[in-house]
Amino acid sequence: MSQDASAEPLDPCLWKNRLIIASVPRGEDRDQLATALAANRAAIDERDLQVIDVSPGSARIPGTVRLDPQQTTALREKLKLSERETKAVFILIGKDGGEKSRQRETLKLASWFTLIDAMPMRRDEIGRRENSRQR
């Protein structure tokens, strides 16, 4: 996801991906997130989800995308994520670029899969996929 630092960091994803923005300050929480992402990779990919790590510090979470430092700072400011936050924060962004939901402490993917699957754009995607299988 490299782009001009002055551009909106999420613009390349608009209308292509749903996003989970993850700010995970503690190492053990990062390990749990990496495990959850790996265990749910097929369901994540099926829903065009991309996970963007905006956690403080330089440690990277496997299975996520890390923006450059300027983009990370800009995105954290836009989403009002404090550097002093001690608990994990997860933000679901729709393909339209709008915030759909926030979760704190633990990422509950199943509830977000249900939320995503109820969205009109996702229902259209499912319908198109089913129609193509029937042909």
Taking the model in full, what pTM does it have?
Answer: 0.89
Residue 2: inside a domain:
no
Q: CA 100, 104, 109, 115 torsion: positive or negative?
A: negative
The pair of structure tokens assigned to 89 is 């924060």
Q: Across 1-135, where does the E strand assignment appear?
A: 18-23, 49-53, 65-66, 89-93, 99-104
DSSP character at residue 33: H
Confidence of residue 32 (pLDDT cuts 50, 70, 90): very high
Rg of the chain on CA atoms, in Å? 15
Residue 83: inside a domain:
yes
Domain that holds residue 21: 11-134
Which pLDDT score, from 0 to 100, does residue 131 have? 86
Q: What is the pLDDT of residues 85-123, one digit of tens each?
A: 899 999 999 999 999 999 999 999 999 999 999 999 999
Q: Which residue, 36, 9, 21, 10, is CA-closest to 91?
A: 21
Residue 72: inside a domain:
yes
CATH number of 117's domain: 3.40.30.10
Whether the pLDDT of residue 49 is over 90: the answer is yes
Residue 99: inside a domain:
yes
Total of domains in the chain: 1
Residue 4: inside a domain:
no
Residue 39: inside a domain:
yes
Confidence of residue 7 (pLDDT cuts 50, 70, 90): low
